[in-house]
Structure 1
Amino acid sequence: MAPEKKFVSSKLNKFMHPRNPYRTPPSFKKLSMKFPEFRAYCTYDVSGKVHLDFKNPRAVRALTTSLLDQDFDLKVSIPDDRLVPTLPLRLNYLLWIEDLLTHAAHYDSEHFVLAIDIGVGAACVYPLLGAKRFGWCFVGTESDQLSFTSAHTNVQNNNLQDKIFLKKVESNIIFKDVIGEEKVKSWTLECKLRSKVDIAECSKKCAECEPQASQLNPQNEVNFDEGQVKAEIKKTEECSTYLYDFTMCNPPFFSCEEETDTMKKSKKDRGEPLSAPTGAIHEKVTEGGEISFITKMIEESQLFKDKIRIFTTLIGTKAHIKLIKNALSTASPSCSVLTEFCQGRTMRWGVAWTFDPSLKLNQVKSKKDMATNKPLILMMPRSLMSVYSVPSAWNMINKWLHHLKVKVQVLKSSKYFISVNVKAFKATWLHQRRKERQNMRRGVGASNGNMNIDGNNSEIIENGNGRSSKRKREAGAETCGDHDGEMMMKVNICTDRDFKTNRCSEAIPKNQSSLDCSLTSSHLGSPHSISVKEIPQNHSKQENLKLTQGKDKLQNLNKGKQERLESILRCNLQVKQSGALISLEAFYLGGSSGKDGLNQLLQFMRNQLAKPTV
């Protein structure tokens, strides 16, 4: 009697991409109530729980089409003898590419993206999801006539022909005869033109909604002309040779039909596949297997390195990774990166490479890579909290982060666990003790970072480097009362040991309005602020506020891009209770300051525990 195979649970789901909606499994009960075609393959136990036979290919097909309809509003039909895509893996791949575009290429959400999908399949799942969820445009290729017809029907049924162009190719075609083909070039030009039109119309509507902002800044008015937009696109193409932002591919894994039976080469303790195999033989088998296919893709990528910015592909077998890395090294790309896609009991790998020296693809890491990094741990003492609990500890930490003026996003919050994402754009945690000593010398409390103006007791002294100090009234100043306010007083600030040279500063005249002082100090160093000189004096405070808000709205895209460029530290903080103790775990994600920046942030928190100043 053969030994019973072990059942392996879906432990890889915890390493699924953080933005993948299928990290939480879908409700079969809701699907069965909403879609009769899915309900036909469901069974129910005595408790009312819904079960699905994954070894039935039709049941798997009904599940995929129902999820596409429910979660993405996509009407998709898949022929019986064609591959049924698993959505968690497809979304992991697309979300990883989105990370590459966002963090490596620094694209914002409004950036026009044009991609190539090699072998779209009958479902055309990657272009459909990419266009519907991310707004990307795709040129897709397909060699099988039945799959091409099915993919074309799915694009038409979802009214996405403006974002997806399909081309029938021969089986051995990857990039050649696709990028330079006249119909493809014409469609991509029209696609870019439509994108420019949409942006221009959106900007025009924003200008109409902000009449005051348009009057204040007439150069921001939009005068749209189709001929000008077309000329601008051609001019942009002349300056930038990149026609496509990325390519993607899910190549056939096997070199012969015998290899498709994975149980023959599986480990002895591995259980049988939960799902029935689907797909035609040409979708799973190619001459030389995926190694030969990807190697050819790498060779052709050198011919189009000035046309395509990022090349990507899936890898189905771990044993092939080393061979593919060796083939990639011969192409000498500027940068390459390997990642893992984890879903259910299945693991796949993705590789990306570029010849653009400005891209640092290795900045983007998979969740599994980040999870394997050991965190920095800070234990929270009982003595500093009246109530020793995770929420109380988080309130204390949140107060520190608010003082440091970092961006905080709460990811998960419960009674015993709180997880947040932190982004810092300045190293505000450095030199805190020095700043405290300077504030004490100037007579300003450590918790007060604003300049206070008091005409009876003190004056504001502002030196050349933008710092201000408070000069107390001298005992005999009353004898000079007649001259006070009529002359400027110069004071040498020599008491601060941190200054290497003496600096002179001039007193601000008393007749200067407090509004000018407060605006100048509050907007000092802000890259998106409006200075006092830019605001007309005949405007009321309310009008000035509206103008400021309008200007900020017009700069949202540039601001988001600038924040990504200036980010010096990105990390995840987790406050958790283990047994009777509460700890803070800090996971480094990225940033120009490196892990040293995270160590410095934790050191600031340790100093606050030892000697609170916030």
Structure 2
Amino acid sequence: MALNNYMHPRNIYKTPPDFADLAKRFPAFSSISKMDITGKVTIDFKDPHSLRILTKCLLKSDFGLDIEIPEDRLVPTLPLRLNYILWIEDLLLAIGKKENVWGIDIGTGACAIYPVLAATKNKWNMIGTETDAESFKKAQENIDKNNLSNFIKLSKNTTSSVVQYLLDIETDQRFDFCMCNPPFYSSIQELCESRNPSRQPPKNGFTGSPQELVTEGGELEFCRKLIEESKIYKDRILFFTTMIGHKYNLKELLHDLTSEGIKYTHTEFCQGRVTRWGLAWTYQEYDIEKLVPSKDKIRKKSKPIAYQLTELPSRPYDVDTCTEKIMEILTGLQIKHKLLSKRGKSVCMQMTAFNNTWSHQRRKRRLQKQQEQESKKMRLCSSNEASHSEPTETQKENANSDDKVNENNNKQSKSLLLLCENGKDTSIQEPILQAFLKIFKKENAVLFEMEYISGNAGKEGIHQIVQYIKNNWK
């Protein structure tokens, strides 16, 4: 589903750019565009070079900016970046802050995209921090090239801190906000494995360097470090904000802020078929949730399905035991599950199903029983025939060979049956259901919650899995 309708109301890209006009005005864009038989001008969004040219032309056309985007660095998507800046505008406007705005961009990147947009559009004063030497150099070149050095200052971060080192340097400066688009992944391996091979390829080409996409502990730990440092400098920065790429990380960070009693709000940033999330918190007297209410308008927010788990025979009645049992059931259903967090008496997981393995269990058991009975009959017939005649050595060898062939055929048949259970090969199949699971103790009871995220199995699939767990609990 295209999500452009859910962009920020003031985002100029709610109305898609006129590619035909761009092709007339910019030779570089004309060279990477093509016209179809209907006269519509398009580009190859899977080609990183085309994405780079498009972004450069939009920055020039809409903001008068001449930005160089290195070939080995991330190509910033403007609608998404603009959504973030507009949301910060909302936070500041809610408290009447319009002039002399000071902000920090953590990890500014080679384009310094947030500072240059903020300075050009709103005349905000920005400090951009960067750890990578090459990105720092390119960012400074882009700032100088566009005569924005009066508004933007860069600071090289050689430490492991997020904002602490900067605030130790800028001892007297107070800031209205900090913003950040942290790396998603904790390692190159996680980056490579992050997109399930069963999913269809993304609509847009892949861009970015390891420095921009990988950080120790991944996105979740980076944001947690920012929350910890924010406690120290809560009087120096008014609004702490960050973009989040994974929805389950947002849920974990909301749990963290709630448990600390920190006031927060959050929103969705939408562009094309991409959704990201924005999170903001403050330690000041403002009720940030009332100022700029949290927004989740893409999907109607559904209440989790809750169920009280009963005691298991001869096993402790606690969260660990119940979690282990649920994981056994999910494994038996061939549903992938990933532990997100474990704190105190609460465990959170994410589950992904590619096939409906939980429905019509009685029919499946009946078919399996029939197959076992037929197999016994065949073995009995073979045994009776063998008792009437003594096989030769050649016959024995042939029989052994046939057994191996049958065994291989059975394995292949089972694999094929598994792949085609829903009439689709899983190598090209999207997940039919994704959900959050939570097992936690409340008073003397262990409770289980399942919350729908996405998938065409819908909320009905959630109900069916919960019922399956109930039926197979003991």
> TM-score if structure 1 supplies the norm length?
0.47
Q: Alpha-carbon deviation of 1:344?
A: 0.8
User: Could you tell me which of 169, 176, 180 is aligned with 1:245?
Assistant: 176
Question: Which amino acid letter does the alignment assign opposite residue 177 of structure 2?
Answer: F
Question: Which amino acid letter does the alignment assign opposite residue 225 of structure 2?
Answer: K
User: Could you tell me which of 335, 351, 361 is aligned with 2:279?
Assistant: 351
1:175-214 equivalences in 2 (<5 Å): 175-181=163-169, 184=170
Contact 1:17 1:366 in 2 (8 A): no
User: Could you tell me which of 257, 265, 270 is aligned with 1:337?
Assistant: 265
Q: Does 1:258 align with 2:249?
A: no
Q: Does 1:317 align with 2:241?
A: no
Q: Alpha-carbon deviation of 1:44?
A: 2.0
Question: Which amino acid letter does the alignment assign opposite residue 265 of structure 1?
Answer: N
- Cα distance between partner residues in 2 of 1:54 and 1:317: 23
Question: Which amino acid letter does the alignment assign opposite residue 241 of structure 2?
Answer: T
User: Could you tell me which of 44, 67, 73 is aligned with 1:76?
Assistant: 67
Question: Which amino acid letter does the alignment assign opposite residue 261 of structure 2?
Answer: S
Q: Does 1:55 align with 2:43?
A: no
Q: Does 1:30 align with 2:21?
A: yes
Q: Which residue of 1 aligns with 2:387?
A: none
Q: Alpha-carbon deviation of 1:185?
A: 5.5
Secondary structure, counterpart of 2:167 in structure 1: coil
- Cα distance between partner residues in 1 of 2:234 and 2:264: 13
Gaps of 5+ in 2: 302-474
Q: Which residue of 2 aligns with 1:94?
A: 85
Point out the structure with max Rg over C-alpha. Answer: 1
Q: Which residue of 1 aligns with 2:143?
A: 155
Give per-residue Cα distances to partners, 1:187-223, cap 9 Å, x unaligned.
x6xxxxxxxxxxxxxxxxxxxxxxxxxxxxxxxxxxx
1:106-505 equivalences in 2 (<5 Å): 106-107=96-97, 109=98, 111-170=99-158, 172-181=160-169, 184=170, 243-261=174-192, 264-265=195-196, 271-333=200-262, 335-365=263-293, 368-369=296-297
1:38-53 equivalences in 2 (<5 Å): 38-53=29-44
Change beyond 3 A, Cα 1:371–1:265: closer
Question: Which amino acid letter does the alignment assign opposite residue 60 of structure 2?
Answer: D
- Cα distance between partner residues in 2 of 1:100 and 1:124: 22
Contact 2:239 2:282 in 1 (8 A): yes
Secondary structure, counterpart of 1:177 in structure 2: helix
Give per-residue Cα distances to partners, 1:320-360, cap 9 Å, x unaligned.
12221233235432x21121111110001111000001343
Question: Which amino acid letter does the alignment assign opposite residue 29 of structure 1?
Answer: A
Contact 2:264 2:280 in 1 (8 A): yes
Secondary structure, counterpart of 2:155 in structure 1: strand
Q: Alpha-carbon deviation of 1:282?
A: 1.5
Give per-residue Cα distances to partners, 1:297-327, cap 9 Å, x unaligned.
0000001001111100011001112221233
- Cα distance between partner residues in 2 of 1:136 and 1:353: 20
Contact 1:15 1:368 in 2 (8 A): no
Count of residues in Structure 1 that have an aligned counterpart in Structure 2? 301
Change beyond 3 A, Cα 1:310–1:264: closer
Contact 1:82 1:279 in 2 (8 A): yes
Question: Which amino acid letter does the alignment assign opposite residue 351 of structure 1?
Answer: L
Contact 1:309 1:355 in 2 (8 A): yes
For the aligned residues, what is the CA RMSD? 2.1
Secondary structure, counterpart of 1:179 in structure 2: helix
Gaps of 5+ in 1: 1-8, 189-242, 374-614
Change beyond 3 A, Cα 1:21–1:346: same
Contact 2:106 2:178 in 1 (8 A): yes
- Cα distance between partner residues in 2 of 1:185 and 1:153: 27
- Cα distance between partner residues in 1 of 2:171 and 2:64: 29
Secondary structure, counterpart of 2:183 in structure 1: coil
Secondary structure, counterpart of 1:117 in structure 2: strand
Contact 1:263 1:272 in 2 (8 A): no
Contact 1:336 1:362 in 2 (8 A): no
Secondary structure, counterpart of 2:154 in structure 1: strand
Change beyond 3 A, Cα 1:28–1:261: farther
> TM-score if structure 2 supplies the norm length?
0.60
Question: Which amino acid letter does the alignment assign opposite residue 174 of structure 1?
Answer: V
Change beyond 3 A, Cα 1:262–1:314: farther
The share of aligned pairs that are identical, in percent, is 45
- Cα distance between partner residues in 2 of 1:264 and 1:177: 34
